[in-house]
């Protein structure tokens, strides 16, 4: 029997989710581990999302509506409303395997040093058909223990629907940064990994639905800008090793080149390309200004010059076609 205060709070944040939300909720209700609540926060939907959610009569579902506040702020409200010792995450279009909680919660219950557990993840199409697994598709080798360096080097390989965290660890790091709508999970997992150990289950325990309305696709430019900002903000930290800071430099150059290439490939007008270049240059100078007090001037200028050379040479050599930004 579920206890009065559930062990796990499953948070589902939704916005105009009528197409997939019922299937998502059913995947949670089908869990073989039944000691959970579902905390659903509707971030101002204007479609039938509310009616569909209210059609479920399961008492474990706690439903809340709010005026649209954005992804980071909505995740934080869901965490604040949660009563469980552990918090799990699921977006309105993704799915869980029935044994997900059963296979992850024991790792947290038996290993107090572990604050976060993740797993592999299926990619599914809009119809729910599987076409890949995340670790294999991305060429990722998962890691346990202290994982911050791996997250900096390889990007966010902890997919949000796969993650379960200790609520106290989440509160400790400040939850999600409400400024972010695309990389809020990446930033939070990095903060947790900087302070605690993580673990994983290698098998896929969830499904990420790939479809045209994914936020990462509809707000792609914002996603690139958030990544550049995230790298800059992380360079402020005093507890990173020189190796980690060097890796952040490399990731900044990689993200900047990818962002500018994205602008060019889409034949954006000159004004859009100029804004993208201006944003990239501004973030780069912020990065350099942050780094300068902590490094010898020669070292700072060497890293600055190197990053600029990478950006310039990669664009010129591989992608810059005459007239592309005209």
pTM of the model: 0.83
- The arithmetic mean of pLDDT across residues 3-17, rounded, is 92
Does any domain span residue 285? yes
Query: How confident is the prediction for the chain on average, in pLDDT?
Result: 84
Percent of the chain with pLDDT over 90: 59
What is the number of domains present in the chain? 2
Does any domain span residue 274? yes
- The arithmetic mean of pLDDT across residues 130-138, rounded, is 92
Residue 138 pLDDT: 87
- Reported as a single tens digit per residue, the pLDDT across 182-241 is 999 999 999 999 999 999 999 999 999 987 766 666 678 888 889 989 988 898 887 888
- Do 54 and 126 belong together in one domain? yes
Residue 256 pLDDT: 79
Q: Domain boundary residue among 170, 190, 210?
A: 210
Query: Is it the case that residue 32 has pLDDT exceeding 60?
Result: yes
Query: Is it the case that residue 324 has pLDDT exceeding 50?
Result: no
Range of the domain at 36: 8-210
- Do 226 and 281 belong together in one domain? yes
Q: Domain boundary residue among 191, 210, 229?
A: 210
- Reported as a single tens digit per residue, the pLDDT across 75-121 is 999 999 999 999 999 999 999 999 999 999 999 999 999 999 999 99
Does any domain span residue 1? no
Residue 235 pLDDT: 83
- In the block, tokens 């029997």 appear at 1
Query: Is it the case that residue 300 has pLDDT exceeding 50?
Result: no
């Amino acid at each position: 029997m579920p206890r009065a205060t559930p062990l796990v709070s499953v948070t589902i944040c939704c916005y105009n989710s009528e197409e997939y939300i019922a299937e998502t909720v059913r995947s949670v209700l089908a869990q073989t581990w039944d000691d959970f609540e579902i905390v659903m926060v509707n971030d101002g939907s204007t479609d039938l999302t509310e009616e569909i959610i209210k059609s479920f009569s399961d008492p474990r579902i706690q439903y809340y509506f709010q005026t649209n506040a954005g992804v980071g702020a909505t995740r934080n409200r869901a965490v604040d409303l949660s009563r469980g010792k552990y918090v799990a995450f699921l977006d309105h279009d993704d799915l869980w395997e029935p044994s997900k909680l059963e296979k992850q919660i024991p790792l947290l219950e038996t290993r107090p040093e572990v604050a976060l557990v993740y797993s592999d993840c299926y990619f599914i199409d809009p119809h729910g058909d599987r076409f890949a697994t995340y670790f294999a598709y991305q060429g990722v080798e998962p890691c346990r223990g202290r994982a911050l360096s791996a997250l900096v080097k390889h990007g966010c390989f902890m997919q949000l629907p796969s993650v379960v965290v200790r609520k106290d660890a989440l509160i400790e790091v400040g939850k999600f940064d409400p400024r972010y709508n695309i990389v809020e999970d990446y930033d939070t997992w990095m903060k947790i990994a900087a302070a605690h150990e993580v673990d994983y289950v290698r098998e896929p325990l969830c499904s990420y639905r790939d479809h045209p309305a994914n936020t990462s696709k509809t707000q792609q430019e914002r996603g690139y800008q958030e990544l550049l900002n995230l790298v800059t903000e992380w360079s402020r930290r005093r507890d990173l090793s020189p190796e980690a800071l060097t890796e952040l430099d490399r990731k900044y150059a990689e993200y900047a080149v990818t962002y500018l290439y994205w602008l060019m490939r889409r034949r954006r007008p000159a004004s859009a390309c100029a804004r993208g270049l201006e944003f990239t240059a501004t973030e780069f100078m912020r990065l350099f200004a942050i780094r300068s007090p902590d490094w010898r001037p020669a070292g700072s200028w060497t890293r600055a010059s190197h990053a600029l050379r990478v950006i310039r040479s990669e664009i010129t050599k591989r992608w810059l076609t005459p007239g592309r930004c005209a």
